[in-house]
Structure 1
Amino acid sequence: MSLRLSTVILPYVRWHEGGRAAWQRAEQLGFHAAYTYDHLSWRSFRDGPWFGAIPTLTAAAAATDHLRLGTLVTSPNFRHPVTLAKELISLDDVSGGRVTLGVGAGGTGFDATALGQEPWSPRERADRFAEFVRLLDRLLSEDSVSYEGDFYSAHEARNIPGCVQRPRLPFAVAATGPRGLKLAARYGQAWVTTGDPRLYETGTPEQSVQALRGQAEKLADECAAIGRDIAGVDKILLTGFTPDRGRPLDSLDAFVDFAGRHAELGFTEIVIHWPIPDSDFAADEKVFERIAMEAAAQLG
């Protein structure tokens, strides 16, 4: 399988002041998919404009024709599976079946306590994530669901006509630890990682590659344990959080070298951030567009 190149467009620009143009340009540049973060706010953008993921993706679906769309990632922090499923089915319908749900356990900061809840322990976060994914899988696959769990409930939740994509839209499960990788193996059409966060500040690119190799091997083990072929799971690397940081976007050659090393690990999709001036995602727009248009051909 050839390596696919995708982008993530943060929802900080008003739709009529450049938001629409970015998603349309992503399609013109030939990206496989364009994703957005599903947060209420995020890090250095917290005191500025920030728009909702699902409305943004719905507008992007209407403004594009064939670009895949999705979240990287949605989490239980402020979402409930019943209402989220209805929104996703609607989005999948508007887009004509072009939606991928990136889903993860969520972080501890930013919007994790925006609804007034106390911070969750790592164990509770993992427990909630497992139940969240299991229930969402049912809600997107079945016409009517009743469920009573430890954290979520559904009473005759109707989701007719269901997703355009059958049996449901694909999940890209973000995971690095054992419990998350088990979920990715069982429920994910794709697996997402940003690398090993422990290496971000002081690690080396070589250590990062080794850590990613270890994650991929553990995912393969989890797939084997349930009789699933790891080759059927797409492997997505969201860049910008490894020790390389933004250096792969310094030039076309730098990116091809970076992407090639990760393709050798079995990654099938590399996601790069749309350039944002004066931020962690600052990059030369001309270099970014050249990567989008030329890198895939060099990677084969």
Structure 2
Amino acid sequence: DSIVYRTVYDTEKEAQTVPADSPYHGKLIGKALEKYAIEDSIAKVFGSESLGRIADEGLQIHGGYGFTEEYPFAGFYRNTRIDRIYEGTNEINRQIITGYFLKKALLEELPIREKLRNVPGILKEIDDLYYGDLLRREKQSLELAKHLTMLVLHEAICKFGQAMRTEHQLMEIIADMLIHLYLVDSTLARVSQRNEKGMPIDIQKKIAQTLSSESMYQISTLAMKGITNLLVGDALKGSLEIVESFIRRMVIPRDLFTLKREIAEDIINKEEYNY
């Protein structure tokens, strides 16, 4: 829900910049909303797939009873399937997400080459970031993951250029990396905001740690998959060494079983999800 709150807030704030008495109000609103089209696509993809996965697991927990109409999960399971289709299929939304960043990179609005020019320098710089911050390790991992995603996008552009738009499997890999980045970034920002306001963050911090760790594993796997399907020979060997140098620092060894158990126990004790 962190990405939903953030996206809705940013979209509404942008829409409010349009003068209500403008003769082009509708057109200007559409242009303002377009600014956050990527975030909208990310929220749609991740939200619908999360709901589908939860409905599926809920039905599975109920066993055979879950598949009968006497229990609510049969309806949940049936009704959530359409969410991945309407408002643009999730496959189309993934193409939109990566396509936006591809356009930015080709127009050199994203300084990818500059950012990746000195990898050892990047690693050293990130090691020194966020000193004393709450969730410092997670924030450093996020910065590393951003650079790793840029590396995969850069290699894809070098190989395919604008024709990358037709490489749908590759576009989906990069889209999934970007989805994880936005999800972790939004969650860390929300926990930090609660902490600054003096609000309780014990369980929220555990959720952020769990999410960050699992997302880093996912991004690492996606990066390896992308690079190994882009390059061959010495170029592949050199890039894999760079990817592995990022992954070694990105991945956070953590007892996720215990963290998840503590989160689940808190939900069970409160009998609600209220984070």
Task: Tell me if TM exceeds 0.5.
Answer: no
Larger Rg computed on CA atoms: 2
Of Structure 1 and Structure 2, the greater helix share is in 2
Normalising by structure 1, what TM-score?
0.25
